[in-house]
Each structure stands twice: as C-alpha cells, then as structure tokens.
Chain A
C-alpha cells in the first residue's frame, strides 16, 4: 500500500483519536489509488447523448484506445440523504449479473478523483459499451426504413434479451423504444436497468408487493395501471408488444396523458377490461375506482392492419397485447411464433444501418410527430416516478 502516507509526524492526542483527522482523511482519499476503480479521466467526453430521470449520459472515447467508444452514465448523488442511491446499487448489481449479447454491457464503474474542488466526494460513472443508436431515434427518422426481415430481427433480439433477463429473475420494468439500443452492426441491447429489480414468484406464499409506479406511461401494461403489485415478466412483454407495433406505426401506439386515459386507450384497442376476458381483474385495487369504457370490442387486428400486412406479425401482436397478463405470450412462446420462422426470415440490420452514419438517439432527434394515432405532440413522458432528481426519486 504505497499510499499509506507516513503518519509518524502526526501527534495523536489520545489513543481514541489515533485515526485520521479530517484533513488527513481528505489527503488519504485523494491520494489512495483505488486498485479496482479507475478514474474517469481515462475517458474523454465527446458528446452528451441522454438526459432523463437518471441523470446525464455522455459518449466518450477511451484514451488508451481511441477507436473504442463508451457511454458514461453519471450517478446523481447531489440530493442524497442516504448516501449512494439504492436504485443505482440495484442497477449495478443487476448489470453485473446480466451478461448477454442483447443486454447492454457494463464495462466498469469509474470515479472522479476526490479533491478539494469536489469536497473530497468522488462522482461515479457507469461505463457501458457504446451503442450508436436507440430504437426511438431510429424510428423518428423517416429515412431509416426497416424491411419485414429487419423488423423480425429487431423483435427476435428484443425477445431474446427479455428471455434471458426473465430467466435470471430480473424484471426490466421500463421497456420503451428509447431504452432499446442498437449498435451500428445491428446488435440490439436492452438498456437502462434503473428501474429493474429481481423477482421471485412469491416469498413463502406471500404475494409480492412491488411498486406499480413503474414503466413509462405509454408502455405501461393494464395490470400496473389497475394497481397490481404482484406482477411479473408479462409487464415487459406488454412493452415488447407496444414496441413491435411501433416498428410499423413509427410512433408509440397509445399516447395517454394520464393513467385513466391510458387505460381508456388500451380498452379502445384491446377491448373492455372485464372479468370475463380477465378473470380476477375485479380484485385489483383500481378496477372499481376507474371509470372505463364498457362494451368495447377488441380491435387489435383491424386497427393495426392499415400499418402492417403480414398476418404472422398481426397474430403475434394479438398475442402480446393481451389484457390478462396470465394469457399474454411469454418471450419463449413469442420466439417460437411463426412470425420468426416464415419467409422473409429475420435479416441482419448491419447493411441497412450502414447507410446511416449519424448516431440516432431520441435525445438528439427532433420531437417525433405523433401523427398517426390520435395524439398531438406531447412531450414524451418519462418514467412515472417523479422527475428531475435522478436516482433518488426512484426509491420505493
């Protein structure tokens, strides 16, 4: 430990204060060369590519390998009363666990050097492999055109990623196009595990009591909107269905501006929410409190037909956008669907993406026109839990 500075000169007035004084500690912290936690200066920031509830995300270059780019996500700690945010710890723990082609790769966690300038408090960054695009950014660019085979490839990778995280007992809980990254080589990565958590079917017979204040409103499944707290992987599959439809509509298919309106939009698309099609829904907390449109017919197929002709695609969407979570297709079932096993087969995205050398992120794109499906250009709502102050607000 080369940095254990010699303390021989420091007089310790009493045995109990043999530990360091504040100043010594500050010096110790700024000099200690944490062997496991590199300094963020090994990367050089290139551009800001994201801003949201989580804080800032930057694109950066690895100074030791100028061809290598990373994304650096800052851990916001400014308003933390309870130290390092529990949500960030959760995200780190989950990302360390998940290693898969279709899940964003956490390279390391970096720190700024503690110094007087930052009151001897390091800032931490989560460092990821850089992905050139996100799906929301790509879909908002009319010049980016996906063939049916390419759409299949996107959905296949997305479902593969979900299958992997779910079999590791992790729920993503924030599926949306902006959280689906795509590299320039066409590899899809699920990203932003800031709301993710581990789940088990239930602990000693007790139903889970997860928060239902998760998932961006437009992608939020009906069970969460109705107050379910004992939910599971189907919440992510609903989002997968919304994203799949968006591959053709190019904008989110249900853009509610309140939870009630979101449920109304869902009812208008998937039919009225009744105990008949969804046994047990009557016991959900908000089912009776919400005034929902009665006697709506299910119109998934007819409403989507103007956008997509492929009957297999429509059939798969019909199985994903199912009100009753227990009847919704899981990722395994979905991956076995004929959609992925009939011509045209899933096809690599790399060639198509090679035509687009500019990174496309939702953050950098002009606001998407929400033309096709009823809504005006609302600002895209971010994940429900309060905004602005990052991790802290997502403690539940």
Chain B
C-alpha cells in the first residue's frame, strides 16, 4: 500500500466494515470525528492547515484500525495533537483534552478513560506508525487561492465564489474525499461547484492556451466532468444527510455485518453516499459548450464556516480588461501571479509529478469494484 489514496471499494471495505460496523455509521463517525477536530482546533485558535492535517491523519488512521477498537474522539484529539506539532503550532496535550472536555458529553468523554492524557500519548505512537510517519499533508486551500488568482471575471463575484469554495473545502474534510483524491483535484471540483452556485462566470484565465477548454486544464490534466460531479456530490450530500437518531456509540456487536460487496455491483458508477437524493436534483451533465451553467436546485451550503476564506488579493490582471491583450504567454504559471508561499518547500526545483507513481490514474476509469470471484 504505497500511496494514501483509495478507491471507493477499499473505503467500503475498511477495518471498521470488517469489524462489522455498517458503512453509514462509519461515515457518520468519520464526519463527527472530523467536525470535532475542526471545532476543537478553531476553539484553540489553530489554523485551518493544522486542523485539516489532523483530519487527514484521522481518516488515514481508520483505514488501518476499526472505530470499534479506537473511539473516535480520543483518536481525533490525538490527530490534532500531532498535527499541531507537525504544523509548528503545537498545543499542550492537556489543553487539547481540556477543550475536548468542554465540547463533549460525559458519555463521549468517558471513552478517554481514567487517564485521558496517557490515553492520547499511547495512541500517538500507534498513530505515527500507522501513518508511516508521513507527516506532511497538502490541502486544497492553497490550490484554491492559487487558482483564484488566475481567474478573470467580476471581482466581487470571484471573492464570493472563493469564499463558498473555501467553505466547501472545510466541509469536504468531513467526507472521505481526502482519501480518494489529491488536493488539487478537490480544489478544482469545489471551485467548479462554487462557481456554479454563485453564478460566477469565468471569462478568461491566465496561462490559457488554445488547447485549454476549461480553466482547470491549466492546472490538472485529464479531469473528467464525471469525476468533478462525483466529488461535488460527495460534499453536497453532507448537507442533505440529516442527523439520525442512532446511538452515539458503536452498535452492539451482535448486529449483523453489513455486506458492502453485495450492493456494490449495481452501484458501479453511482455516487456512494448515504443519501443520494441530490443526485437527481442536480443535473450536471458534461457541458463542454457552456462551462458555467448554474443549477438552482442545489441547496446552498448550510454549515457555518468556521474557517472563512482569506480575501484574495486583487491582482492587477483581475480588473484589467481586455484579457486578450494582457494575457501572458502560455506558460503554465504566469510569473506575475504572486503565489502564496508554500507551507513547505517543494522537493526539487522541478515540479513534482502530478500523480505520484502509485496514485490512482487521473480519471474515474478504474473499476470501482473488482468482479466478485
């Protein structure tokens, strides 16, 4: 298992699933754990990068261990604790626990046991080994800003669109998207979604060349509309899935194991979420001729944004028409764009290969499900 990306079948067949936890419950646990990390992080004034790193550790952890074995809120605290150190924003373990205590019910906090700090410390070693000491994690945020700086169109609408995309990225942490796709792809997809919802029209973009049909062609290759739609739906489904009246803790062991594989064969290309009612409402068809249709039936994001998007510094080209004249030479990254400094420097001078050798191919072409024997 060289990379950190999984296909949906692998996610369905997680250690929790093998431990007889049904898929919907696991997704709910993941969502709650992620939300808890975000809430704890923001309460402690940790930045969005730190919380996002913690959430990614959390999702990765449960690709190797079961929610039944490791209660999610302890793991969540541990992930935030480690992420704080890795992102150079360390918080004391006891302070994280104190904050967590304030956010959790007595029953939930009981999972921290007699000595909560000891519990987190012991878990940290397990976490580090589980995540292969792969500490550096990239997030869609920086890409969002980078892409926004290259888009040309109405300034106010662009700002609004970026804010909305930013909120979507925050919320996407509650899905398993970070286990499925690189941050670049997620950023493109959620910006595309925000563009549609906020009716932002991309008139032109810097770095454009004649082969580019859509603005993201400058940044990512071979991203199909099917893929973008799938990613958007996974986030949108967060807003439609209602909190259910199920108990907070793992269901008793006696419950029969779910059979994800049984369902899977029919599900071939569908978005797999607990609630797919949105899928009908939003018709996102392949739309080469009209790139920015809006769909009005989609619900707006309802979750309050804990981490608002920073305002995009207005680069001169955003307001300067006509784009054709000011268009830079078709280099991939125009020099006049001030890229935000990377949180961590690139490995070499040359751009890293976009897809790590072991990562999934850049399209939805791989089979979701292997044929059953």
Contact = CB atoms under 8 A, between A and B. Distances in A.
A16 B347 contact: no
A148 B107 CA distance: 73
Contacts of B304: none
Given A92-B133, A96-B136, A18 B68 contact: yes
B349 interface: yes
Contacts of B250: 15, 18-19
B168 interface: no
Interface string A313-328: 0000000000000000
Contacts of A86: 85, 90
A99 B346 CA distance: 11
B113 A109 contact: no
Interface in B50-96: 64-66, 68-71, 74, 81-82, 85-86, 90, 92-93
Nearest to A97: B347
Contacts of A22: 113
B345 A83 contact: no
Interface residues of B, number: 52
A18 to B, nearest CB: 5
Nearest to A25: B122
Interface string B109-140: 01101000000111011101111111110000
Contact of B85 (A16, A25, A89, A168): A89
B253 interface: yes
A38 to B, nearest CB: 10
Which has the most chain A C-beta neighbours within 10 Å: B70, B108, B136, B345?
B345
A142 interface: no
Contact of A1 (B15, B249, B348): B15
B344 interface: yes
Which has the most chain A C-beta neighbours within 10 Å: B65, B124, B125, B248?
B125
Contacts of A98: 347
Majority secondary structure of chain A interface residues (helix, strand, loop or mixed): loop
B66 A168 contact: no
Contacts of B93: 81-83
A37 B121 contact: no
B15 to A, nearest CB: 5
A84 B122 contact: no
Contacts of A122: 125, 129
B252 interface: yes
Contacts of B108: 16
Contacts of A198: 344-345
A144 B107 CA distance: 69
B85 A167 contact: no
Nearest to B114: A22
Contact of A168 (B113, B121, B345): B345
B253 to A, nearest CB: 7
A170 B85 contact: no
B252 A170 contact: no
A93 B82 CA distance: 13
B249 A18 contact: yes
A286 to B, nearest CB: 26
Contacts of A93: 86, 135-136, 344
Contact of B129 (A25, A83, A111, A203): A111
B135 to A, nearest CB: 5
Contacts of A17: 110-111
Contacts of B130: 34, 36-37
A168 B347 contact: yes
A363 interface: no
Interface in B1-46: 1, 15, 18-19
Contacts of A20: 69-70
Contact of B121 (A35, A83, A99): A83
B76 to A, nearest CB: 13
Contacts of B135: 89, 92-93, 96
B247 interface: yes
A7 interface: yes
B210 interface: no
A122 B129 CA distance: 10
Contacts of A15: 247, 249-250, 252
B124 A19 contact: no
B64 A7 contact: no
Interface string A80-106: 011110100100110011110000000
Interface of A: 1, 4, 7-8, 12, 15-20, 22, 25, 28-29, 32, 34-37, 81-84, 86, 89, 92-93, 96-99, 109, 111, 114, 120-122, 124, 167-170, 198, 200, 203
Interface of B: 1, 15, 18-19, 64-66, 68-71, 74, 81-82, 85-86, 90, 92-93, 107-108, 110-111, 113, 120-122, 124-126, 128-136, 247-250, 252-253, 341, 344-349
Given A4-B69, A96-B134, A114-B125, 12 more contacts: A1-B15, A1-B64, A1-B66, A15-B250, A18-B253, A19-B74, A20-B69, A36-B1, A36-B131, A82-B93, A92-B133, A122-B125
19 contacts: A1-B64, A4-B69, A7-B68, A16-B108, A16-B248, A18-B68, A18-B249, A19-B69, A19-B111, A20-B70, A34-B129, A37-B132, A84-B124, A84-B128, A92-B133, A93-B344, A97-B347, A99-B347, A111-B125
